[in-house]
Structure 1
Amino acid sequence: MTRRSRRALPATLTALVLLAASVLVAVSAIQLALGEAPLLSYDALAGRLHDTTWSAPEMAVASGVATAIGLVLLLVAVVPGRARTAPLDDRTAVSVRGLRNALRTAAHVDGVESAAVKVRRRRVKTVVRTRRSVPDGLGDAVRAALEQRVGELALARPPQVVVRVKALRSTP
Structure 2
Amino acid sequence: MNRLLHFAALVATVAVAVKAASNSSYLQATALVTNAQNHSALQCWQFTDPATVSSEAGTSGSATFAFANTTETIYTVIPARFNGGTHNAPVPQIVTFLSGLAHITLPVAVHGNSTLDEAWIVGGADGFLIAVDTGGTGHITTYPTDQPTVSLQIPFASMEDVPAYSVVSEGPCHSGTSGGQLV
Q: Name the TM tier (shorter chain).
A: under 0.3
User: TM-score scaled by structure 1?
Assistant: 0.23
More strand by share: 2
Choose 1 or 2 for highest CA Rg.
1
Greater RCO, CA 8 A, separation 6+: 2
More helix by share: 1
